[in-house]
Amino acid sequence: MIEFTVPEVDYTRYTNRQLAAIPLAVLAVAILIIAGWFVMTGVPVNQGIAFTGGTEVQVAIDGPEAAAEEEIRTAFDAEPESIRSVPAQSVYVITFQSGGAAELEQQADAAGLDVRSISSVSASFGADTQTLALGGLGVAFLGMSLLVFAMFRVFVPSIAVVISAFSDIVVPLALMNLLGIELSLGTVAALLMLIGYSVDSDILLNNHILRRSGDFYESTDRAMRTGVTMTLTSITAMIVMTIAATVFGIQLLAAIGTVLVFGLVTDLMNTYMLNLSLLRWYKFRGVAR
Amino acid sequence: MVAIRENWRVILLVVFLLISVFALFSPTLGPDDPGSGDDVAAQGSVTNLQYGLELSGGTRVRAPLVGVTAEGVDFGGTDRRVVEQEVAAEIDGAGPADVIARFGGRPAGGQDTAQPQPGSETSDTVEVTAEGLTTDELAAALNAAGYGYETTREGVTETTRQEVVRILENKINEAGLSGGTVQEVTTAQGDNFVLVEAPNQDASSVRQLVSERGTVVIEAYYPANDGNYTRDTVLQQEDFQSIGTAQDGSGGPYVPVTVSESVAPEFQQSMRDSGLAQQGGTRCTYQVDPSSTEPCLLLVVNGEVTNAFGMSPGLAENLRTGGWADSPVFQLQTTNVSEAQEVSINLRAGALPAQLDFSEESGGTTSFISPSQGSDFRTNSLITGIIAVLAVSATVFVRYRDIKVAAPMVVTALSEVVILLGFAAGIGYPLDLSVIAGFIAVIGTGVDDLIIIADEVMAEGKINSRRVFQSRFRKAFWVIGAAAATTIIAMSPLAILSLGDLQGFAIFTILGVVVGVLITRPAYGDILRSLTTIDR
């Protein structure tokens, strides 16, 4: 039988500096990756066609993959930007940087391909979507920060929540770059969800430590037992969902799942190392440790 | 009575669940008839749920309108039609149909001499909807025609956009694309688009239907006195009183039409003058050799001659004696059935004042999802969701090892989804992948909250009094409320900004959190209490 009990961590063995160092280092590396990406490619994150404009065609072809790719390349006049296959569905996802949906549809029909879907976004519309998505993300983050400050009314615990939430978004973004996942409407949705998930466990921890009577480590322990259960449950659900959605070729759900798994794992680290060390420092200010 | 007072949260949850199940399954709340411009196609399924394009298959086209507009034009009292003709004459490739002059933003009668009001929406405008015209060219044309103006800009007026939406709706209904919709949308940047959605249709047929202006005119083609052939427009779209459906008769496909009484005598006269109504009718050989045919009637669709036909002896006789004008019906003959259908649709729906711009740099989007892909997505996303819920249940069981804690947790989380689905069915909100992503977010935060409640309530052994339970429950609720408030704040910008693609996600996440915090999660607390409290 699988054992699932939240481990009790003996925090007294580590200093605040030691605890905070790891998440801060991870955050710094993530920011470096994004900055480096920006220097190399001109954009902080790889963007999908919803933001850059372009056309995505999905066709169903039976048979071996190499032959299918060959068939795809001969069918279209324009050079595909990428061809991906969806396992278990014999569906191929082809993206084009340019080319109208009408021409591509004609070419696919002429070649006798079974077109499953076509979606085409013009560059200027993509740019509008990008502004909106980034604006939405920014406003959401700002709103969350203001609300957190309004709820706790003390600086250090509030900023701890905000920093962890920031890191929970930035680290998955850097991982997306490394793993070649493009920013799409689905991943933006996932990043927004992360704001919600991230503050859940942070608020829980802050609440237990600041608003309840009892020893610091006892409160931490109780908050961790609940918080880690929450996050692990979500991670399990998201891993399962990502696998299922990938097999079925539902890209939107797979993208959301992947980004959420990254973010939730980052959140575990940030909440119980970064946020916790800041809270301990706040609680025992001036006490040498 | 005590039981009701103590368990009112559970009772409230049950009531909401019953309402949702009613909304989901009651046949009395089924989707309205599809012809009424309803949002999506009615699905032949057991539930009242409606699916968006991603889950049902179909085509969505979002495109701006072709056109340039001059605002604050000084007509100087000239008749609207005269202005249109004069401006059109100054522009290559634009006919009077491509120029729209409006008084105060409305098409007014010719006598209206309203003063232009600078900067206001009700200023007098001239729009040119011919393709490839720049604002500078419009400015030059207005100068040449001698009309002053304030500014020229890309795009068309609000009135024209509304007209286009209305006519496209007619066209889609006439073409029998059930459940198709047309909307005007504005992006956050202030760009205007026309959004056309047609379930179960492929992209090319939809684009063809909506991209044509749909002008239909009947012209008389006859040799004039000097021997050269002349073309005269004898009937326009608005001259028909009623238009029948396309028929396939023994003499080939045709559309039966009735000419309105006011125009009928005029038409009769022009038929006599042009020689079309001569004794014994005419035999048209326009397709073989246009320069040696007897007089013809030309069917001109979108500026191109699609068919030419002569006059039957009986109809010619009727026209000559003047008896025809008393019952002015005749048949528009076409070369094939699909053309007859197109003519019939265009005549009924009317001609578009401006055309949709499908060029690559226009800023539009097209998406087509094949119905098989849509139904695959529908089933597979359901399976994915169920698998995710099972994963949550398994984790919770493993963690608590107490079915009394875990089972109600899973049931409560699922009931949130049932309530949301009931809501979607009740208001007819079409389910799309983004809405399903919203459901996943709701289950995720829901289970988080239930874990908080469970841990808090069961902390340090059994609860032995209601008071202890209440105080612990209230403590747990502070955290849940705070987390819910942040989620709502985080999602609200996307819910309010209308871009569509992520709006469904944001709306359903917010709704789910609200339903969860107010109804389902408190009920879980009550269920847990009745299962774990020793002394009630």
Pairwise CA distance, residues A217 & B429, whole Å: 48
Query: Is the pLDDT reported for residue B115 higher than 50?
Result: no
pLDDT for B114:
41
Measure the CA angle with vertex A173, ends A167 and A175; round to 5°.
Answer: 100
Closest CA to B69 of B123, B118, B17: B123
Instruction: Please tell me which of the candidates A2, A98, A260 has its beta carbon nearest to residue B360.
Output: A98
Per the DSSP assignment, residues forming a β-bridge with B155 are none
Torsion angle of C-alpha atoms A281, A283, A285, A287, degrees rounded to 10? -90
Q: Most B CBs within 10 Å: which of A56, A117, A164, as the mutation test of the B interface?
A: A117
Tens-place pLDDT, residues B21-80: 888 887 765 554 443 334 444 444 677 788 887 788 888 888 888 888 888 888 877 777
pLDDT band at B361; cut points 50, 70, 90: low
What residues contact B56, with CB distance under 8 A and at least 6 apart?
Answer: B40, B41, B43, B199, B200, B371, B374, B375, B378
Looking up tokens 């179909």 gives: B58
Contact flag B391-A211 (C-beta cutoff 8 Å)? no
Query: Is the pLDDT reported for residue B523 higher than 50?
Result: yes
Tens-place pLDDT, residues A129-173: 788 788 888 988 999 999 999 988 888 889 999 999 999 999 999
Is the C-alpha dihedral spanning A243, A247, A248, A250 positive or negative?
positive
Q: What distance in Å separates residue B449's CA from the closest CA in chain A?
A: 8
| Rounded average pLDDT over B133-162 | 85
Q: Which domains does chain B have, with CATH numbers?
A: 2-52+370-532 (1.20.1640.10), 59-63+161-211+354-366 (3.30.70), 68-154 (no CATH), 216-349 (3.30.1360)
pLDDT for A263:
94
Query: Is the pLDDT reported for residue B148 higher than 90?
Result: no
**Chain A contact present for B288, CB below 8 A:** no
**Chain A contact present for B495, CB below 8 A:** no
Contact flag B187-A141 (C-beta cutoff 8 Å)? no
**Chain B contact present for A96, CB below 8 A:** no
DSSP annotation of A47: B
Q: Are A126 and A50 in contact (CB under 8 A)?
A: yes
pLDDT for A32:
95
φ/ψ of B250, rounded to 5, equals -70, -30
Distance of CA B62 to the CA centre of its chain: 10
Q: What distance in Å separates residue A288's CA from the closest CA in chain B?
A: 31
| Three-class DSSP labels, A253-282 | HHHHHHHHHHHHHHHHHHHHHHHHHHHHHH
pLDDT band at B511; cut points 50, 70, 90: very high
A74 or B485, which is more confident:
B485
Instruction: Please tell me which of the candidates B448, B456, B478 has its beta carbon nearest to residue A200.
Output: B448
**Chain B contact present for A248, CB below 8 A:** yes
Query: Is the pLDDT reported for residue A23 higher than 90?
Result: yes
Pairwise CA distance, residues B513 & B417, whole Å: 11
pLDDT for B229:
83
Quick one: residue B514, left, alpha or beta (phi over 0 = left, psi -120 to 50 = alpha)? alpha
pLDDT band at B112; cut points 50, 70, 90: very low
DSSP string, A153-208: --HHHHHHHHHHHHHHHHHHHHHHHHHTPPB-HHHHHHHHHHHHHHHHHHHHHHHH
pTM above 0.80, yes or no: no
pLDDT for A39:
92
| Three-class DSSP labels, B100-122 | EEEECCECCCCCCCCCCCCCCCC
Domain regions of chain A by residue span: 13-43+125-284, 54-121
Query: Is the pLDDT reported for residue A29 higher than 90?
Result: yes
Instruction: Please tell me which of the candidates A230, A248, A250 has its beta carbon nearest to residue B448.
Output: A230
pLDDT for A210:
85
Closest CA to A141 of B408, B127, B337, B490: B490
Q: Could you give the percent of chain B with pLDDT greater than 90?
A: 3
Q: Find chain A residues with C-beta within 8 A of B369's C-beta.
A: 116-117, 119
Is the C-alpha dihedral spanning A104, A109, A111, A117 positive or negative?
positive
Instruction: Please tell me which of the candidates A189, A237, A260 has its beta carbon nearest to residue B505.
Output: A189
| Rounded average pLDDT over A165-182 | 92
What is the overall mean pLDDT for chain B?
79
Q: Most A CBs within 10 Å: which of B187, B196, B384, as the mutation test of the A interface?
A: B384
Domain A54-121 architecture? 2-Layer Sandwich (3.30)
**Chain A contact present for B185, CB below 8 A:** no
pLDDT for B501:
67
Of chain B, the end-to-end C-alpha distance in Å amounts to: 15
Pairwise CA distance, residues B384 & A39, whole Å: 39
Asked if the A13-43+125-284 domain carries CATH number 1.10.3720.10, the reply is: no
Tens-place pLDDT, residues B474-483: 878 888 898 8
Instruction: Please tell me which of the candidates B370, B388, B490 has its beta carbon nearest to residue A237.
Output: B388
Is the C-alpha dihedral spanning A136, A141, A145, A148 positive or negative?
positive
Distance of CA B372 to the CA centre of its chain: 22
| Rounded average pLDDT over B182-207 | 78
A216 or B533, which is more confident:
A216
pLDDT for B34:
41
What residues contact B402, with CB distance under 8 A and at least 6 apart?
Answer: none
pLDDT band at B253; cut points 50, 70, 90: confident
| Rounded average pLDDT over B277-306 | 81
pLDDT for A1:
44
Closest CA to B401 of A1, A16, A179, A185: A1
**Chain B contact present for A82, CB below 8 A:** no
Tens-place pLDDT, residues B410-468: 888 889 989 999 999 888 888 888 888 888 888 888 888 888 888 887 776 555 667 77
pLDDT for B503:
82
A37 or B75, which is more confident:
A37
pLDDT for B489:
87
Looking up tokens 């191929």 gives: A92
Query: Is the pLDDT reported for residue B117 higher than 50?
Result: no
A183 or B346, which is more confident:
A183
Contact flag B485-A232 (C-beta cutoff 8 Å)? no
Beta strand segments in B134-270, E:
151-154, 181-186, 192-199, 216-223, 229-235, 240-243, 247-249, 252-259
What is the overall mean pLDDT for chain A?
85
Q: Number of CB pairs < 8 Å for A and B?
A: 239
**Chain A contact present for B500, CB below 8 A:** no
> How many other CB atoms are found less than 10 A from the CB of residue B35?
11
pLDDT band at B391; cut points 50, 70, 90: confident
